[in-house]
Amino acid sequence: FRVPNTNWYRAQDDFENEEAFAMWAADRVEEMILFEDPDTVAAFYIEPVQNSGGCFTSPPSYFKRVREICDKYDVLLVADETIDGFGRIGTMFASEKYGLEPDMLVCAKGITSAYQPLGALMMTEKLFEPFKHGTNIFSHGYTFAGHPVACAVALENLDIFDEEDLVGNVARNEAAFKKTLEKLKDLPIVGDVRGAGYFYAIELVRDKKTKESFNDQESEKLLRKFLSNHLYENGLYCRSDDRGDPVVQLAPPLTIGQKEFDELEQTLRHSLTLAGEMFELM
């Protein structure tokens, strides 16, 4: 089952602030667990910064409330940090940034910086206890589990994270990255700029005042037929997603700083200005 995300930009006007909206969204988790019957719900999966839809963030109180709900109904809380993990949000894991205390955490991608395919599952001591002494097995196998080459790459990759202080670089520069991207809000086509760390989305709109989005045909023309190619041809490799409200998503290297932020903003400004002119947005 699914519950509402924390898309504050698209929230209804009857919420006093983002905190109130987040509490409403968290309460929907409890509502759904009760609807399904707590005895039938094994786990609740959550992405600290939600990738799908465009980098939705939540206040720490949201994660605290979700943790309370899961504890109340004996439901495991699983953090999906496939994208958020390994410095992307400014801490080694995004859960740290938001005070989220999951029972299990799944990760991949950044664990090897994509030089080798590898994923990992972490869990609390309590959950690991039955497997601790080798008398039980976790009977969910993978064909290539524990591949020694991939694991060696991951270990070296994590050493480099420490040697070059990559997580620290994101933490020190994330505010500047946000400030630079928010300059784009003066463009008629830019409705929202949101995210955390080095993971941001720019939501594109037809009408800034009403937040009117583009229809499916317009979104396809805007993103797939124009923006994706134009940005790439101008040196910016990013994700243009039209599966919901149209967004351009950015997940730059953890090594960059203000010089690259400025180049990125100028490239986006050029392409988005042309995109706005295509739809005669003034």
Distance CA 67, CA 100 (A): 8
Q: Domain locations in the chain?
A: 8-163, 166-278
- Where the chain has pLDDT below 70, the residues are 282
Distance CA 199, CA 90 (A): 9
Q: Which token pair is 198?
A: 């080095």
Q: Which of 86, 78, 87, 1 is nearest to 46 (CA)?
A: 78
Distance CA 171, CA 37 (A): 41
* The architecture CATH gives domain 8-163: 3-Layer(aba) Sandwich (3.40)
Q: Residue 260's pLDDT is what?
A: 98
| Amino acid at residue number 38 | P
| CB contact at 8 A, 66 and 108 | no
pTM assigned to the model? 0.94
Q: Residue 219's pLDDT is what?
A: 92
Q: Residue 282's pLDDT is what?
A: 54
pLDDT digits (tens, 9 = 90+) for 108-132: 999 999 999 999 999 999 999 998 8
Q: Residue 244's pLDDT is what?
A: 83
Q: Which token pair is 209?
A: 């005042």
Question: Tokens 């029972």 map to which residue?
Answer: 103
Complete DSSP assignment for the chain: -------GGG--TT-SSHHHHHHHHHHHHHHHHHHH-GGG--EEEE-SSB-TTT-B---HHHHHHHHHHHHHTT-EEEEEETTTTTTTTSSSSHHHHHT---SEEEE-GGGTTTSS---EEEE-HHHHGGGTTSSS------TTTT-HHHHHHHHHHHHHHHHTTHHHHHHHHHHHHHHHHHGGGGSTTEEEEEEETTEEEEEE-SBTTTTB---HHHHIIIIIIIIHHHHHHTT---EEE-SSS-EEEE---TT--HHHHHHHHHHHHHHHHHHHHHTT--
| CB contact at 8 A, 77 and 102 | yes
Q: Residue 75's pLDDT is what?
A: 98
166-278 CATH fold: Aspartate Aminotransferase, domain 1 (3.90.1150)
